Amino acid sequence: MTLAIVLAAGTSAAGLTTASGEPLADRLAAQLRRAGAAEVRFAATLDELAALADAADGPLLVSGTDLVAHTAVLRHLATSPVGPTVALVLTDPPVPGRTAVREERGQIVDAGTLDALDGDATGVFGGALRVGVDDLPTLAAAARAAAVGARPVTAPLGPAGDVSPLPAAGDAGPGNPGSAVDRLVAGLAALGTLIFAQRVRLLVAHRVEDSAGLVAAEAAVTAVDEDRAELRLSVKEKDDFFSTYFVSTWSPYVVRLAARLRLTPTGVTVISVLFALAAAVLFGVGGRPALVGGAVLLYLGFVLDCVDGQLARYTRHFSAWGGWLDTMADRAKEYLVYAGLGFGVSHAGLGNGWALAIAAMTLQTVRHMTDTWYGVLHDEAARRPRTTAGASGGIGDRLNAASTRVQADTGSLSYWLKRTVVFPIGERWALIALTVALFNPLVSLVAVLVWGGLAFAYTGALRTLRARWMWVPVLDTVDATLHRDDGPLARRLPVVRPMGPLTLAVLAALGPAVLLVAALVGDSPSALRLAVPVALLVLLAGGLGAGAAHNGPLDWLVPAALRAAEYLFAIAVGVVGGAPGWLIFGYVFVLTVHHYDLTARLEKRQTAPPLHAATLGWDGRSVLLALAAIAGVVSIGMATLGAYLLVVFVASVVLAWFVRPARSARASAAPVGAGGVAPR
């Protein structure tokens, strides 16, 4: 249940009356109810707000009394899926007594007066925020500190947190904005709370000081068609080139139709999977009509892939399950298309299509893993003081500044080149559709591999330089063995600290890589069966870094390196053991599904998937494959292990998304008997 609090302290707008004769605060309370708040309370002081935060058992919506906005603005804030704690951010010019903010990648990394931000402000606080349940104690600490004219300086160590003296509460000195809600959000930021920014686009939101400002703001709200703006807002603000100009120009019409048909985002996701599956089948069948038809279906499937997210934003129907399913479906669709292309190449006698499909899937998965952890690295660096994020100057600093300039120059040639060269999903699907329709599946797979390889080299080189400059150990503050997907064997191996976990992970990939190359170029791959244990020993060297601190500037690459090592070993064992290409592809596909499931949870700071221990870890799975190779039953071993992992994955999904939530719902709905115990 969401509780909304209208905070009246410290603002001159508390007594303003709207054009309809209704007090502004009362209208705001009514809007908060329409935005989804189950209850609205008024707090006259920050101490009252702190008491309400202490007693709350759900997220809080907090707003000052000076906000004039479309109801949709508050609804977007209340339902924002970006994170538990979100603040409204406006582009209005900063004024005395208001909090300015500095954003990095959608996160508020600093908040205070304009002078305190030393010219780095990117926007101003919009006077409203949503606070997640886990951040409520911090909210209460910030409120109590602001109430006595003090500024929190560190994460709270107790109920009240650490504070430092400030000028009197009414002053608007550095770090101490005047109104209560402004001091509150500045205090939250000072306590290290992860606050995401909710920007206002197309709709209207203004903070007002007097009657003239109120009249102007109300006129601006009336001038905008709220529903039409919401439909346009369903499209991502900054998308890739192909999505922007070849999908989003007409997909909002599909979104409106889907909403009228009462389709859910999950339903649209399922339909898009069916389109991609049909395209993959046509690519495998071959023949010009089938290839052209498959290309059309692939394009339409990508349109629906965009529509599911746009529909979720338009209807504000977000869920953790829907987000997870969308992520997993995107990868499954793409790799099913690779499978169809690979089969089509082999079926047409154009070459070893399965080898190309396996290479494309492996390359794309490893790329995604580096993308994930570099994003975490960048976010962590943005939240840290600049003096500790890296030395000033140098090539990393210049690259960072250049990237920021290009990203800010929206719509320019350099902006689109930067977004296109990294080969995002829209461009991948467009390239596949065009090349397969105009040429054949072989050209399509080769094109994907070439562009994907160049994009990987480009992003890898630039990110390496920037990461060495930022020097942020993102894996040093989490359970690194879980992020690495270590099994029981790797966790028990001795630690070799001098070499570092990244060096060991790269070394682990070299053994399987050499074995694979030897098997591919040799006349008799089966003759290398005795070399499999040697490659396994080299692979297991990656486990020697499991217990070491992952605090190097490039250690964010460790999970991706270990993924590459495991995939290369599985492929090499399959080639040496004479397993059919489709079976090797299927086994690696199951591995990628497991790893995407793990990554999708961990990047959102969620717990590991249920039954994670049953997946055996990269080391355990590789040992079993090696034993199958030594015994001469690689195909049987790979099929059995792949089927087992698939069953574990499905069971884990059912437990995580259906069984456990149902149990929690039943437990929370059970009547409580005497003594607070639910009767049996």
Q: Which two tokens stand for residue 265?
A: 């985002």
Helix/strand/coil percentages in the chain, nearest 5: 65, 10, 30
Residue with tokens 């998308």: 239
DSSP annotation of 670: S
H/E element, 125: strand 123-131
pLDDT in tens, 66-99: 899 999 999 999 999 988 999 999 988 777 778 9
Q: In this model, does residue 456 exceed pLDDT 50?
A: yes
Q: What is the pLDDT of residue 13?
A: 66
Separation of CA 186 from chain center = 26
Query: Nearest Cα to 101, choosing from 82, 80, 122?
Result: 122
Is residue 519 a contact partner of residue 471, using CB atoms and an 8 Å limit?
Answer: no
H/E element, 588: helix 581-602
Any idea how long the chain is? 680
Residue with tokens 């509460």: 169
The DSSP string of 447-488 is HHHHHHHHHHHHHHHHHHHHHHHH---GGGGS-HHHHHT--H
User: Parallel, antiparallel, or unpaired for β 60-64 and 123-131?
Assistant: antiparallel
pLDDT in tens, 465-495: 888 877 778 777 778 888 899 999 999 999 9
Residue type, 676: G
Residue type, 242: F
pLDDT in tens, 342-399: 999 999 999 999 999 999 999 999 999 999 888 887 777 766 665 444 444 566 667 7
Rounded distance, CA 62 to CA 64, Å? 7
pLDDT in tens, 671-680: 544 443 333 3
HEC secondary structure over 229-265: HHHHHCCCCCCCHHHHHHCCCCHHHHHHHHHHCCCCH
DSSP annotation of 500: -
Rounded distance, CA 112 to CA 116, Å? 6
Query: Nearest Cα to 484, choosing from 493, 474, 475?
Result: 475
Is residue 435 a contact partner of residue 443, using CB atoms and an 8 Å limit?
Answer: yes
Residue type, 99: T
Q: What is the pLDDT of residue 21?
A: 86
| pTM of the full structure | 0.89
